[in-house]
Chain A
């Protein structure tokens, strides 16, 4: 192994002896590696961005709707209960009703957008409860005027995050009602997109029991809902999908009337992620063409180098260098060139990726494994394109090589 160290040393020496040319050779690799890395890092950023935007939909849901043109039946608290009883593989059902108006807190008044649903609405996003609790089934059944609001809402309305126990006065058209804060949750992407909606002020968000929302508007919950969402456990969504329609038809008494429609809505699932990965890989492959061009540049320079150093190879052989010694020396030279180029390329690539990510607004994520792989690729390019010239060098006949000038 000690001898391999010597060959590597002589490879480094010869690279140093030809600094200008070595740099030009590396340039191809630098550009290639930088391009590939930039694209892969931006691809990762894109994936993170896309899954972030869809995180509120992460739980798989089933939309169930009753066609009003075929029947006048609709979802009621009673039949929703019954459906949940027969479908123990789901978290539960939630209708949706929105309460939009102005919310007055102790500190200030803002536009507010409250989503009315059942307690299973807590499964709709990945955002966590920071203080207090989500509202419960009891709150729903008792039409309690309680609410869970976002971090931003708490800060804006009350001036602090832990706003449990505070009251918000909601005014919508001609009705006014008060809601007690029982929980504060993390912001969702909705909060981000609502950040500067009305007069540069944010629209605040929160969740309330649908019964309380209906009560505020004076609606009857027994004749209000033709659409509900079922929230599913990730594990048994297939079972749920297959059973849902018949269970709903049985419970509502709509069997055979073709009035119940069931559609699954998936969040950012594996197939979406896969598509993004494929897109990234395809672009990276296109970028890697420049890597191939760079590799051919390495090969070209190595051939010139072998030709120029024919006499040196002859001398080495006359002194006892074996075929493999010469081969290793020239391969090492090619691999070191591309490795060094790769390192510069990584620095440059990360720089560009950082700039572009900042520009587009993606998070700049660098996967260390990616960097290791890219280094591996750059060395392999050197070895692959170095083989032909190195082999040519090692096979030179020592007498002919010594005679050359």
Chain B
């Protein structure tokens, strides 16, 4: 199995000095290609911090992070931007869509930063929106859509990027159970299509559908197991 994410002895310390917070404490973690990982843990345990690290939104205070074998722990802001654009698709709890843009325009955004021309962008965005069942909502703005639909736009945006890694931080945290099911279905499909999917969740029901479950507490990895209940479906 090829290594995609390799985290070595990473610490993340907020407010170093007086009342410092060790959000990540000597974490070691390796994730390969085409894995389906759930990260669970209590509130404040460091899940989001870990995800930001994996997603190159943040750099570690100490330790090393290799993505595709490349050391990304000391990259400049712009280099990190480029890596995020090429390698990472984010799905956030709060959807993170730009309110003034339509579904299409939101999906095209990362492609603009990649320098892809209008025509190809339109094509990719359309394919992505179709694949999450939103062909009829292309020209709607986020405030004209339900939470589940908004989250599907966010997923379509990640799909259009075609990144090797999909990072989902509480993707269903703001959704009702039927929308949640739909989102999880799409996420699982993306895994089956060959991507590595990392889902952070409070919901043990969701975690149980992942192939590998990592539990963290107080910034440390407590357990890292292959899910015995995992079912291909």
Mark A residues whose CB is within 8 Å of B.
2-3, 6, 13-14, 17, 311-312, 314-325, 398-399, 402
Contact = CB atoms under 8 A, between A and B. Distances in A.
A321 B117 contact: no
Given A325-B113, A399-B57, A320 B81 contact: yes
Given A2-B117, A2-B118, A3-B113, 17 more contacts: A3-B115, A14-B100, A312-B99, A314-B96, A315-B97, A318-B57, A318-B96, A319-B90, A320-B84, A320-B85, A320-B114, A321-B113, A322-B78, A322-B81, A325-B113, A399-B57, A399-B58
A312 B98 contact: yes
B225 interface: no
14 contacts: A3-B115, A13-B100, A13-B101, A318-B55, A318-B57, A318-B84, A318-B90, A319-B84, A320-B81, A321-B81, A321-B113, A322-B81, A399-B52, A402-B92
Interface in B24-82: 52, 55, 57-58, 77-78, 81-82
B interface residue count range (under 10 / 10 to 19 / 20 to 34 / 35 or more): 20 to 34
B57 A319 contact: no
B157 A2 contact: no
**Interface SS of chain A:** helix
Most buried by A among B81, B84, B109: B81
Contacts of B99: 312
B100 A316 contact: no
Nearest to B114: A320
Given A315-B96, A399-B58, A402-B96, A322 B52 contact: no
Given A14-B100, A402-B96, A2 B81 contact: no
Contacts, number: 64
A364 B54 CA distance: 67
Interface string B88-117: 001010001111110000000110111101
Nearest to A13: B100
A322 B90 CA distance: 17
Nearest to B82: A320
A6 B111 CA distance: 11
Given A2-B115, A6-B112, A399-B52, A320 B98 contact: no
Contacts of A318: 55, 57, 84, 90, 96
B182 interface: no
B100 A17 contact: yes
B218 interface: no
Nearest to B113: A320
B220 interface: no
A315 B98 contact: yes
Contacts of A17: 100
Contacts of B90: 318-319
B86 interface: yes
Nearest to B80: A398
A62 B98 CA distance: 78
Given A3-B112, A312-B98, A402-B96, A320 B117 contact: no
Most chain B Cβ neighbours within 10 Å, of A14, A315, A320, A321: A320
A88 B69 CA distance: 93
A312 B115 CA distance: 19
Contacts of B81: 317, 320-323
B100 A319 contact: no
Contacts of A311: 96
Contacts of B58: 399
Nearest to A311: B96
A318 B90 CA distance: 8
Contacts of B115: 2-3
A398 B82 CA distance: 13
Given A3-B115, A325-B113, A320 B77 contact: no
Contacts of A315: 96-98, 109
Contacts of B84: 318-320
Interface hub of B86, B101, B109, B113 (most chain A Cβ within 10 A): B113
A398 B113 CA distance: 15
A319 B92 CA distance: 12
A317 B77 CA distance: 10
A398 B81 CA distance: 10
Closest 5 CB pairs of A and B: A320-B85, A319-B110, A320-B113, A322-B78, A322-B81
A317 B58 CA distance: 12
Contacts of A399: 52, 57-58
A344 to B, nearest CB: 24
Given A2-B117, A3-B115, A316 B109 contact: yes
Contacts of A312: 98-100
Nearest to B48: A399
A99 B49 CA distance: 103
B203 to A, nearest CB: 22
A3 B97 CA distance: 20
Contacts of A316: 98, 109, 113
A351 B148 CA distance: 55
B91 to A, nearest CB: 11
B53 to A, nearest CB: 10
Contacts of A319: 84-85, 90, 109-110, 113, 157, 161
Interface string B126-149: 000000000000000000000000
Nearest to B97: A315
Interface in B176-194: none
Contacts of B55: 318
Contacts of B101: 13
A324 B115 CA distance: 14
Contact of B82 (A2, A13, A322): A322
A314 B96 CA distance: 9
